[in-house]
Amino acid sequence: MRNKETVTEETDALVVNAHGGLVLLASAVMRDQFVTIVNVKTHEELLARVTGVGQRFMGKAQVGVEFIRPDPDFWGVFPQPKDWKSSSLATPDAMPQKV
């Protein structure tokens, strides 16, 4: 069992969407690791999973994160793209059905 470690890092998001984003991190993280993303303007927190870690450059890596539950309002993007609307996000009822 790994020790639970809390690390806080202020960073920038390079790409954002309703499902997560791409952030720059100096902290070492691994794919499938859970992280908490905090919007410093709203103080909202979301749990996310690391989906990928790029090569390090100047001490930081591009890290893909996916929210555990999509949240089109988290990043504060206005106006939101049409595909960010809550009703258009994939839900079990809205997902295509196999026939």
Tell whether 96 is covered by a domain: no
pLDDT value at residue 83? 76
The model's pTM is 0.77
SS3 label, residue 23:
strand
Q: Which domain holds residue 62?
A: 13-86
Pick the residue with more confidence: 8 or 95? 8
pLDDT band at 79 (very low <50, low <70, confident <90, very high): confident
52 bridge partner residues: 64
Tell whether 95 is covered by a domain: no
Tell whether 44 is covered by a domain: yes
Task: Please say if the pLDDT value at position 82 is more than 70.
Answer: yes
DSSP 35-72: EEEE-TTT--EEEEEEEEEEEEETTEEEEEEEESS--T
Task: Please say if the pLDDT value at position 89 is more than 90.
Answer: no
Task: Please state whether the peptide bond connecting residue 70 to the residue before it is cis, i.e. omega within 30 degrees of 0.
Answer: no
pLDDT value at residue 1? 39
pLDDT of 23-69, one tens digit each?
A: 999 999 999 999 999 999 999 999 999 999 999 999 999 999 999 99
Q: What's the total number of domains in the chain?
A: 1
